[in-house]
Amino acid sequence: MADKEDFCTKEHLIELHNLTVDPRFAQADYRTFQNYIGETLAWRQQRVHYVCPQPQQIPELMEGLLEAHRAMERAGVPAVIEGAAIAYGFVFVHPFKDGNGRIHRFLIHNILARRGFSPPGLVLPVSAAMLKDSIDYNASLEAFSRPLMKLAEYELDQEGHMTMRNDCAPWYAYMDLTSQAEALYQFVQHTITRELVDEMNFLESYDRAKAAIQQIIDMPDQKIDLFISLCLQNNGGLSVRKRRSHFDMLTDDEITQLEHAVRASYHAPSPDTGGRDPA
């Protein structure tokens, strides 16, 4: 849906949130409680990595973020700069209990696609590059969170509920997102030079495998897709269980030829079957 419409509205953001969580945890508005990001170390011991804005600050911060989005579009701010400012700004405001990271990465796709940064109909898989390069991605988040954590004063009760003792509102309202913009440019570059190249190579290999399979036996496209997928999941060979459940209509010789076609198309080594029984 990323290239279809502008999702930088309160209504659309709430809709996106509710699509990412169990319906029982759907929300009708932004969060109304103090949130933080942390990890459990032991019984009633938490390590806090990031303190989110106080709930009473959320409506104004989100209104400012969405107005910044509209202003950037009117001014023609470069798409990557806008994507970094809005998407990272969103995740640092953290307006929902869950799903903020997924929405944050979706907004990057949404903004880049709508601003025409990528060709029509093509959504650059930037989020894949971000998640693969987890060290740099985490560093882009910590470039904002670490300085803030030196200022935030808070306390946790025995149930893990947080109470803020000071006001850090200006730090959330006037974010310096230079590091995040630089990081996003890097992720976009990696997407173009690595992810898209890998994807094109995969699709070329798939086309070769499909054509080779059709020369052996002209199965329906759905069966061909399944055969290739199952072989790739099992180091180039079809498992006995998957063969029995999906391809019992094929002979031993046909299975062997089809496996070889997949391995040759993807340049995969022959699997170590361990003397499996082909039956």
Please tell me what DSSP assigns to residue 207: H
Give yes or no for residue 6 having a pLDDT over 50: yes
187 and 242 both lie in a single domain: no
Question: Quick check: is 103 in a domain?
Answer: yes
Q: What pLDDT was estimated at residue 270?
A: 54
Confidence of residue 106 (pLDDT cuts 50, 70, 90): very high
Higher per-residue pLDDT: 178 or 269? 178
Structural contact between residues 96 and 27, judged by C-beta atoms closer than 8 angstroms: yes
Question: Quick one: tokens of 216?
Answer: 């052996």
- For residue 145, what pLDDT is reported? 95
Greatest distance between any 2 Cα atoms in the chain: 73
Could you say which of 195, 228, 253 is where a domain stops? 195
pLDDT exceeds 70 at position 279: no
- Domain membership flag for residue 47: yes
Range of the domain at 154: 10-195
Lowest mean pLDDT among 45-54, 140-149, 170-179: 45-54
DSSP structure string for 116-148: TSS-TT----HHHHHHHSHHHHHHHHHHHHHHH
The residue among 54, 87, 234, 223 whose CA lies nearest residue 153 is: 54
pLDDT at 275 over 90: no
Distance in angstroms (rounded) separating the CA atoms of residues 259 and 239: 11
Torsion sign, CA atoms 41, 43, 45, 51: positive
Q: What is the average pLDDT score of the chain?
A: 90
Q: What are phi and psi of 209, to 5 degrees?
A: -65, -45
What pLDDT score was predicted for residue 37? 92
What pLDDT sits at residue 271? 52
- The per-residue pLDDT for 39 is 82
CA distance 140 to 208: 39
Percentage of the chain surpassing pLDDT 70?
94
Residue 44 lies in a domain: yes
pLDDT tens by residue, 43-67: 667 789 999 999 999 999 999 999 9
Q: Tell me the pLDDT tens digit for each residue of 62-97.
A: 999 999 999 999 999 999 999 999 999 999 999 999
Chain position carrying tokens 């031993």 = 252
User: Can you give the pLDDT at residue 242?
Assistant: 92
Residue 203 above 70 pLDDT? yes
Residues 131 and 222 in one domain: no
pLDDT for the residue 266: 86
Higher pLDDT, 42 or 198: 198
* Number of domains present in the structure of the chain: 2
pTM score: 0.76
Backbone torsions φ then ψ of 255, nearest 5 degrees = -60, -45
pLDDT computed for residue 105 by the predictor:
95
Q: Are residues 121 and 223 in the same domain?
A: no
- pLDDT at residue 278 tops 60: no
Pair 233, 130 in one domain: no
CA dist., res. 90 & res. 61, Å (int): 9
d(CA 199, CA 214): 22
Residue-level pLDDT at 277:
38
- Of the candidates 235, 237, 216, which has an alpha carbon nearest to the alpha carbon of residue 227? 237
Question: Are residues 169 and 258 part of one domain?
Answer: no
In a domain, 241, yes or no: yes
Do both 112 and 231 map to the same domain?
no
93 and 57 fall within a common domain: yes
> Are the beta carbons of 165 and 64 closer than 8 angstroms?
no
Residue 14 CA to its chain's centroid (Å): 18
The 10s digit of each residue's pLDDT in 119-131 is 887 778 898 899 8
